[in-house]
Structure 1
Amino acid sequence: MLERELKFHVPARQRAALKAHLRKLGAQPIELHARYYDTREQTLARAGIALRVRREGEAWVQTIKTPGPDELSRVEWNHPRPGPTLDLSVYAATHIGPLIETVADQLRCRYVTQVVRMKKVVPTESGSAELAYDEGAIIAGGIVLPIHELELEGIDGATSDLFALSREWLMRHRLVLELRSKAARGDALAELASRKGLDTAWEPDATALNTRNLRARHPDVGQVERLAAPVRSNPPTLPHGIGIRAAYLACANECMSQILRNSSFLAGVDGMKPGRSHRIDYVHQIRVGIRRLRTCWKLYGDAVNPPHALQADLTRHFRALGQARDLDVIQTEVLPRLMQAGMPPDTEQADLPPPGTEAAARSQYVGAPEFQGVLLDLLEHLVLFGDALQADDDTPAAPLLSKRLNAWLNAIRRQSPGFLEADWDTRHRLRKRVKRLRYAMEFTQGLLDAGRLAPLRDALVSAQKSLGHLNDLYVAAEYYRGDGARHPCAMFALGWLAATQEHEARAAHVALHALAAAGNFRFTDAKPAKRGKRKS
């Protein structure tokens, strides 16, 4: 059975009101105790599979979930059990049967969950959905992660109605989108516990799960840093012959995952409080994800047509987060170089806020309904786009992408010779074009000729890095001409920044010249040029 559900973290201040709301609707609590099985090497988790036995009230149910077509969907099989034991024979005739048979002797309980669930089926415009609020914990090796999440699962009716219902609850209770399942969080927790040498196994012959009396502790600072590590880009490798709309969906979903996961961490899901460096990186990775998504929209163009309002909303939030990013870059990257060059510190601390202050403030920004609502809009766009995708009417992606990438590359070539004489705005536009081309190149990996790709990739990375360093210096100079002008050594800073800009500009010019000479993109499925007939 295909299960499709949306998950939300419920912030502490909203829990009492949300539970009261559910009680008013007639929701009833039920205790759920589950144990999740996998090998020591997490063979099932790496395949996207979750296997559990759960006590639901007085009944035991064995469940296995496998990946579905999108972030919301899982294929789920449920089998009643007389107790907390596995019966793997039920999967023998399924597509996962061979894998289950291979790992059967290696399975062990890796972590458990203990939850009190309040649930209620409610009507939607075209069908019905189940609301389920879970409060409890995931436990592995004596480490505990709290659970405070609302799940909205579509029972029947249109998927758009499930999103409409979710939007109502998000806005009313200030919820935070959370794509990770309990299994995903439990797998991460069990892996962390195993690395620490903590025993994650549970007795296989236990007849009940009694986690109330366990001596479990919350993750320490170092463990939080690992569990909530910033999510970086991981572009998909597109297969040969993929259609343009299917290619877009793969790339855009990966961008969305980067945006949503970093946003949820910054908003403080699971009650975790990452350190300053992680908060700074979350803001950076959210902006990278948005920029990559905007590149994706430009790359695929009229073939996808995302809603204009969604594009405008994401651009607005991108710029708002950019203000925090600029101040953090000045504090963590430019200011140390200024100090090394001899600029005395500002002992009065009258100018820049402490490093990470702006990123910390953005945790409230990304957790607010306005930002979360836009993320929900993005998720809905991609899910409905995937639902409407028909494999037989999708034109091949390679010809369009080949033409567009080389057109973007040639535009950069035309602008590069005059870089040293150009003003800041022109240089900034060229930097954005280089960054856009690099992201587009990453989106088309798998389709590109590997031999020709290597020099282009190296040249693009080098050019983007040089132009990025130069841009940081411009941002810092703008600060010291404005709010930072009160700094007692603002003139020193401006002088050093001007001199360093010249050096970085020359380095960027060299990198752009190397990019111009690196050749063109070619796709591996491109047909070789026809040769004329050989004369006898």
Structure 2
Amino acid sequence: MTEIEIKLQVPASARAALAQEIKARSPDNLRTQRLQAVYFDTPSRLLASEDMALRLRREGRNWVQTLKAGKGQDSISREEDNIRLPDRSAAEPALDISRHLRSPAGRRLQVLLQRAAGESLQRRFATDVRRQSQIQRTRRGFVELCLDEGMIQSDSRQLGVRELEIESIKGSPLAVLEAAAGYIKRYQLWIDLRSKAQRGHMLFEDRAFASPAKAGLIRLDASANIDEALLAIFSDCRRQVMQNASQIAAEEGHGPEHVHQIRVGLRRLRTAMKLFGQRLEAIAHWDAQARSLATELGTSRDRDVLAESLWPRLREIDAPLIELPSPTDLKSPRDLIREKQCQLWFLEWLEHDMKLDLDRANSDHALGQLPAQDVLLEVLHRWHRKCRKMSAHFGQLSVDERHDLRKRMKRLRYGVEFVRSLLQEKRLEHFLQVMADAQDALGEYNDLHVAHALYKSHSAHHPQAWFAVGWLAAQSDYAADRCVKVLQDFAKVQAPWRKKDLPRNETNPEVTALGA
């Protein structure tokens, strides 16, 4: 069966009021259970690496063996196979994967374990949770609300659990998102894509947090239409953004790379929106939301860059002022992600992609039915020509034009990576290497220019900053000279597609509506 469920983390301040609301919906139907589970994996984390989870759970007096596998493109659905065991004793029954062989997930697990000959399943961690559950009716269907409180345990280490799971029972899967929106608005809950199993594996391995989620390889079929390509690209952008957002918002904390990768995901989303142009008119306002969030998160990221790369260099030359004071009104990345507006936008994104997936078979949108390969390569061809032209004349560009070129280059790179599966790998690798060199040079130039402006803005109250201002101006000039040389190479490199790959009619009005 397919489980459709979203999980929301509950702040301690909202716990009592939320529990009371769930109980008050129908006091006679409130169900309270103690759930005690043990999770299994191989020493090499074979199941976790395949996004699978295997557990034995005691539910009251009953034991249930469950196998979960993979997340769908919508991030909230996954395959689940539950086997209720006849043993009602308190003793933990033996694990037996053959119980799942009637399910696709069970057969995949069997193949995985056969390939990993010699590796056996072992206990990794346990959970002990008190669950209060209730059925809620929404306009779109029925959902089950499950308020879980308890612990994840591994040896002497523990992680707290305080979360609201909302699972589709009957009706449209969109009912899950409808219910979630209400609780986010009332109680400031936030979405968490990390499962208890993922958190448990981190605890077992004594890791503070999950690895940052990076861009994935998007596999597009040569016969795919625009809507199919759009769904695949949006899904990967959303995965990158929301997985990193889940860790940033978490009580356990996060690292600088999570902030960097969520900003990459937001830029990839904005690139996709420009790539698909008028096909996305209904959500055009997302561009401003993504830009605003990335900018606010960038304030924190900029200081990380200063600390990692610039401040050590200033120390080497004994600069009189090295570390700049932190802004007093700076919001933390965690607070930014937990904000109601941000969380509701994430729900809107999930709903958009779920609707696109549900409706694409019956879609009659003219742009949506165009062949993706022809259209997207033509758009990228236009972007590439513009970047080559600007690169060839970098020395004559103004500061603003140089910044614009840097943004265009990022957009082109993300766009090319979106369609990577449609291109010849050998030709693509050379193009991406030359482009990476160009982006590195532009990135260094931009970082120095931003730092120069930042130190100059502090010079009125901190005269010692003038030393760094002068040094950064000189370094910016050197970086600009490097950009001129590297961008000449980019201006000469061939595109990773061939002319015969491009559609013959480049003036197709439907195509020019894309790639604004």
Same fold (TM over 0.5): yes
Query: Percent same amino acid at aligned positions?
Result: 35
Shift of 1:400: 1.6
Q: Which residue of structure 1 aligns with residue 38 of structure 2?
A: 35
Match of 1:353 among 326, 342, 346: 326
Deviations 1:336-355 (A, max 9, x none): 32333342236xx7x5229x
Q: Which residue of structure 1 aligns with residue 23 of structure 2?
A: 23
Q: Which runs of 5+ in 1 are unaligned?
A: 193-218, 530-536
Change (3 A) 1:462 1:65: same
Change (3 A) 1:123 1:284: same
Matches within 5 A, 1:512-523: 512-522=487-497
Q: Which residue of structure 2 aligns with residue 262 of structure 1?
A: 244
Change (3 A) 1:453 1:423: same
Which whole-Å CA distance do the structure 2 matches of 1:292 and 1:329 have between them? 21
Q: Which residue of structure 1 aligns with residue 211 of structure 2?
A: 229
Q: Which residue of structure 1 aligns with residue 510 of structure 2?
A: none
What code does the residue aligned with 2:243 have? Answer: R
Match of 1:184 among 194, 198, 205: 198
Shift of 1:179: 0.7
Q: Which residue of structure 1 aligns with residue 513 of structure 2?
A: none
Q: Which residue of structure 2 aligns with residue 288 of structure 1?
A: 264
Match of 1:324 among 300, 304, 310: 300
Shift of 1:281: 3.0
Q: Is the 8 A contact 1:327 1:358 kept in 2?
A: no
Which whole-Å CA distance do the structure 2 matches of 1:233 and 1:449 have between them? 20
Which whole-Å CA distance do the structure 1 matches of 2:47 and 2:403 have between them? 46
Change (3 A) 1:403 1:231: same
Q: Which residue of structure 2 aligns with residue 155 of structure 1?
A: 169
In the superposition, the TM-score normalised over structure 2's length comes to: 0.86
Q: Is the 8 A contact 1:63 1:78 kept in 2?
A: yes
Match of 2:358 among 374, 387, 391: 387
Which whole-Å CA distance do the structure 1 matches of 2:253 and 2:9 have between them? 15
Q: 289-298 or 482-491: which moved more?
A: 482-491
What code does the residue aligned with 1:272 have? Answer: E
Which whole-Å CA distance do the structure 2 matches of 1:185 and 1:436 have between them? 34
Which whole-Å CA distance do the structure 2 matches of 1:135 and 1:100 have between them? 30
Which whole-Å CA distance do the structure 1 matches of 2:122 and 2:329 have between them? 44
**1:494 maps to 2:469:** yes
Deviations 1:425-481 (A, max 9, x none): 110000000111111122112211112112210111111111111111111122223
Matches within 5 A, 1:52-63: 52-63=55-66
Match of 2:127 among 104, 110, 113: 113
Aligned positions, number: 486
Matches within 5 A, 1:363-512: 363-390=334-361, 394-512=369-487
Q: Which runs of 5+ in 2 are unaligned?
A: 88-92, 505-516
Q: Which residue of structure 2 aligns with residue 82 of structure 1?
A: 86
Which whole-Å CA distance do the structure 2 matches of 1:438 and 1:404 have between them? 13
Which whole-Å CA distance do the structure 2 matches of 1:247 and 1:142 have between them? 47
Change (3 A) 1:257 1:18: same
Q: Which residue of structure 1 aligns with residue 139 of structure 2?
A: 125
Please report the RMSD computed on the Cα atoms of aligned residues, expressed in angstroms.
2.8
Which whole-Å CA distance do the structure 2 matches of 1:41 and 1:257 have between them? 24
Which whole-Å CA distance do the structure 1 matches of 2:490 and 2:311 have between them? 30
Shift of 1:13: 2.2
Change (3 A) 1:100 1:521: closer
**SS of residue paired to 2:215:** coil
Change (3 A) 1:487 1:309: same
Shift of 1:239: 4.2
Which whole-Å CA distance do the structure 2 matches of 1:80 and 1:182 have between them? 20
Change (3 A) 1:174 1:119: same
Matches within 5 A, 1:160-171: 160-171=174-185
Q: Is the 8 A contact 2:67 2:100 kept in 1?
A: no
Change (3 A) 1:234 1:341: farther
Q: 386-395 or 167-176: which moved more?
A: 386-395
Q: Which residue of structure 2 aligns with residue 273 of structure 1?
A: 253
